Structure formats: C-alpha cells, structure tokens
Amino acid sequence: MPVPLLSSLAGPGAVDRADALTVAGQSLSREELLGAAGAVASRIAGAASVAVRADATAATVVAVVGGLLAGVPVVPLPPDAGPAEREHILRDSGAELVLGGGEDADVPVDPRERADFSAVAEDPKTTALILYTSGTTGAPKGALIPRGAVAAGLDGLAEAWQWTAEDTLVHGLPLFHVHGLVLGVLGALRTGCRLVHTGRPTPQAYAAAGGSLYFGVPTVWSRVVREPDAARELSGARLLVSGSAALPAPVFRDLERLTGQRPVERYGMTETLITVSARADGERLPGSVGLPLAGVRTRVVAESGAEIGELEVSGPTLFTGYLGRPEATAASYTDDGWFRTGDIAAIDPDGSHRIVGRASTDLIKSGGYRVGAGEVENALLDHPAVREAAVVGAPHEDLGQEIVAYVVADGVSEKALIDFVAGHLSVHKRPRRIRFLEALPRNAMGKPQKKLLPPL
Ligand code: MLC
Ligand code: AMP
C-alpha cells in the first residue's frame, strides 16, 4: 500500500528508474528503496521512536522511509554529534533504537535488503520526525513534526516552484535538518522527482550533477559564485533555491550574472517548515523571501508606527510542540494561536516578505546551522580550565555569522577549547575564534553584558 506522505514511492503511475535516488554515489530505484525500507520497518514496528545516525548516505534515506512506513517517529542524529549532544538527544527523545549503516547501530540498515511491509494507516496528526533544534539557552529541544505538516509544506512548495516528477533535484545538505531531509529527501519522494545528493555541497559537485532544481544555504551559493566556471554550469537549471539564512544581495546578483537567472529565496524554521517563498512564476528580488505558501498566514507585530516587527505565522505546516516541554511550547505561541518565529520582518504592500534580523542575538546562524549561544557556553564551561564564557555570532562573509567565544580561563589554548566543543557537541557548533578576557563585562545584578564585550 502506498504511503500517502510519500505518494510517489509506490503509488499507481509512479515512474521508476534505476537511479531514482543517488546519495553520495549510491543509486537506488524507488522499488529498491521501498523494499529496503520495508526490511527496516518490519524490524522497528511498534517502537515508540527510533534514532537514525543521519550521515549523507542511501542508508539514512532507507532508515527514514522505514520509520515512515512503520509509523514510528524518526529522530535524526547528527553523525558528528559528540557524546554530550548524542546522549542528550537519545535520552530526551526516548528513542529505543539507533538505526544506521555503520557497525555501531542497534539496527543495521542495508540498502540492498528487500522485504514487503504493509504500511500503517496514515494519520496526518502522528509524528513523522522529531527534529532537535537549539534555543537561546540550554540543550536543544525536540520539535515534533506531524506527517500532515510535512505533506502540506511540500505540496505548498511544489505549487510555488512548479516542482514535478520531471525535475532532478540536486543538493549536498546534511540529512538531519528541515532543509536537507524534509525538502531535500522527502520533497523528492513526494513529488516523484529524481534526487542527486552530492555528499558535500561543493561548487564542483553541483556543477557536475546536471540537475534542474538546486538547493543550497547562502554559504553554498557564495562558494558557488566564487567559482565562476562551476557557477556557469548551472545556467541550464530551472530553479536555484536559497534558504536557511539570509542570502546576501551581492551573492544574489553574482548568481544572476553568472547563471542568467535570479535565485528563488524561501524562509522557514524547524518548527514551522517552510512558510514563505518566492514563486517560480513570480518576482525574485534580493532581500525578499516572497509570499506565504498555500494555507499559511503571516502577520508582523510591530510597535505602533513601526513597519518592522516580529513575524508570526499560522497554518498547516506547523509543528505540534516541543517534546516533553509544554511550557516552552506554550511560550512559542501567542494567546490567539500564532507561532512566534523570533524573526524580525517587514511585509511590503505587495505582500512580499523581507526578513531583517532576529529578536534575540543568542540564536546564531552559521553556515545555515542554528546554534544557541547558551549551549556553546555550557559546553565551554564543562572544560575544567574555563571559569566564564560568553558566546556571540559575529558577521562573517562566508558563514553569515561565525561563532565567537569570549572566555575567562586559566592555561588553555584557543585550539584546545575549539576542539573540546567540536568533540562534545556537533563539529559545526564549535567556536571559530576564542578571545581570552580577564573578566566578562557584567551589570550591577552580575548578568553578563554581551553588548559591552570588546571588539575582536
Ligand atoms: C573542522 N573539522 C573538525 C574541526 N574543525 N573536526 C573536528 N574538530 C575540529 N575542531 C572538520 C569537519 O568535521 C569537516 O569534516 C570539515 O572539517 C569542514 O568542516 P567545517 O569547516 O565546519 O565546514 P564548513 O566548510 O564550514 O561547512 C559549510 C557548509 C555547512 C555550508 C558545508 O555549514 C553546511 O552543510 N551547512 C548546512 C546547514 C543546514 O543544512 N541548515 C539547515 C537548517 S534547516 P568533513 O569530513 O565533514 O569535511 C533550516 C530551515 C530552513 O534552517 O529554512 O531551511
Ligand atoms: P532552523 O530552525 O535551523 O530551521 O532555523 C530557522 C531560522 O533560519 C529562522 O528563524 C530564520 O532566522 C532563519 N532563516 C531561514 N530561512 C531564511 C531566509 N531565507 N532569510 C533569512 N533567515 C532565514
């Protein structure tokens, strides 16, 4: 029985090919994917949730689809997560098993296996994915993403981008976040288009892949335009899509100059999936993320007289809450039921949206990854030599923001502290630079004053 969420996988009329899906060089047809996922589903059926070691491999796609077939919520684990982050995610989610292609997995996943599995009846309210995402303080929270939100979000994007089975989607993004996993894998499986995952999102790999639809975070696009020969190879594509952080206007213009086409920018969050996007048949302007997707409503709550304010959203793509954190869930909604994004935005008279910043400086976006300052500060404080720590995002040409830590510490090197965080959390959460101080600036109450930190 086809799974409605993945309607193109085995439904009547689904067109198959040997390389329907290629991840880091390994290809599978849809039938092979369904068979291998069936073998996973039969092993995990009945589990409350399962974790998947989400490296960029075909095994990860098989494991995630296996979870969807079995109706078991999937918790993607960043493959480079250090012990602190991994243990937190496993304990907090209660995942009973870890699936993966490697030997350390409880349930080994082999894309060559085949088994029939009768998919569970589809209920749009049940959780498809539990995605761990950082807040300003503390450890990451598990956002519960229902099947219906994934389906609605992908259908909204398919309509806005004229995304069909005729497309070949190319990207090389990580498979543990909304961008790479929900859009970049489940989007291909729902629309029925061919998927080429390049392993890493390098300009050369994008140039060689010959796709019609390309996804990237701004750091990927700024690296592409720095390789003009690679960029020109994308001229024949139908749509170049940027998201997960603001696309700098110079990168937008360089992409247009080198490829002859304007990129499509879209906006979203783990908790809301993608809510706003430029359209394939609409205007594409630097700094604009376009219009709400079908069924999504947006509003900007501004102080009187101001044009910009916090963006709030509602609609069918929203999460159902943070796992085990009813207070945090309640705090993320207004009294009248709108989700507070924490992003500062403006809506122009023609309805197009501009994202102009974030309400809190303690949520950092580096290379498109969302990193909470508090989580990195806590990791630094776990080092025996560190007495105080304050973490900020500093503007950075390649990464958008780079993670910078100010620490008060005795006898420890910058490199040792960077490696310590890279080893405890995920590698991308490591500070890129450390500045040693005698003391952190504090107010009369003893609270650190990040605004008073010295320039780098
Ligand atoms: C470096 N490395 C280290 C290290 N320093 N390893 C251990 N210890 C250290 N101290 C290794 C890394 O493991 C990696 O290895 C290599 O060095 C390069 O790492 P890096 O320098 O951190 O990578 P970088 O080039 O900075 O990555 C750029 C990037 C990446 C763009 C490829 O940031 C990226 O993939 N971003 C995508 C984030 C994303 O998908 N966000 C979506 C969130 S969803 P190796 O072996 O791996 O090369 C969302 C919703 C929405 O936002 O709207 O989409
Ligand atoms: P995450 O939860 O990792 O998906 O990160 C969500 C955040 O990414 C949003 O709250 C925004 O701050 C940011 N973001 C995503 N897309 C865009 C975009 N196109 N422009 C600016 N910021 C974006």
Placement of tokens 């349930």 in the chain: 107
**What is the spatial distance between Cα 354 and Cα 287, in angstroms, rounded to a whole number?**
6
**What is the spatial distance between Cα 302 and Cα 299, in angstroms, rounded to a whole number?**
9
Those residues with Cβ within 8 angstroms of residue 144's Cβ, 6 or more apart along the chain or in another chain: 73, 127, 130, 319, 320, 321, 322, 323
| 375-406: pLDDT as tens digits | 999 999 999 999 999 999 999 999 999 999 99
Q: Which residue, judged by its Cα, is nearest atom 8 of ligand 2? A: 244
Q: Which residue, judged by its Cα, is nearest atom 23 of ligand 1? A: 428
Q: Is the CB of 426 under 6 A from ligand 1?
A: no
246, with CB counted inside 10 A (0-12, 13-18, 19+), is: buried
List of domains in the chain: 1-357 (3.40.50.12780), 363-452 (3.30.300.30)
The DSSP code sequence of 144-205 is EEEHHHHHHHHHHHHHHHT--TT-EEEE---TTSIIIIIIIIIHHHHHT-EEEE-SS--HHH
In this prediction the pTM is: 0.96
Q: Which ligand 1 atom minimizes the distance to the CA of 273? A: 50
Tell me the average pLDDT across 254-273.
98
3-state secondary structure of 290: strand
Q: Using the mean position of ligand 1's atoms as its centre, give its distance from the Cα of residue 54 in Å.
A: 14
| 181-192: pLDDT as tens digits | 999 999 999 999
Residue 1 clears pLDDT 50, i.e. is over it: no
Instruction: Using most ligand atoms within 8 A of CB, pick from 358, 364, 413, 427 the residue to mutate for ligand 1.
Output: 427
Write the single-letter amino acid at 127. T
Q: Using the mean position of ligand 2's atoms as its centre, give its distance from the Cα of residue 268 in Å.
A: 5
Q: Is the CB of 221 under 6 A from ligand 2?
A: no
pLDDT score recorded for residue 11: 60
Residue 6 clears pLDDT 60, i.e. is over it: yes
Q: Using the mean position of ligand 2's atoms as its centre, give its distance from the Cα of residue 236 in Å.
A: 28
Residue 120 contacts residue 37 (beta carbons within 8 Å) = no
pLDDT score recorded for residue 14: 62
Q: Using the mean position of ligand 2's atoms as its centre, give its distance from the Cα of residue 250 in Å.
A: 19
Q: Which residue, judged by its Cα, is nearest atom 33 of ligand 1? A: 367
Those residues with Cβ within 8 angstroms of residue 419's Cβ, 6 or more apart along the chain or in another chain: 430
Those residues with Cβ within 8 angstroms of residue 185's Cβ, 6 or more apart along the chain or in another chain: 61, 64, 175, 195, 197
Q: Is the CB of 401 under 6 A from ligand 1?
A: no
Q: Is the CB of 96 under 6 A from ligand 1?
A: no
Q: Is the CB of 267 under 6 A from ligand 2?
A: yes
Closest ligand to the CA of 372: 2
If you average pLDDT over every residue of the chain, what do you get?
95
| 10-59: pLDDT as tens digits | 665 567 899 999 999 999 999 999 999 999 999 999 999 999 999 999 99
Q: Is the CB of 140 under 6 A from ligand 2?
A: no
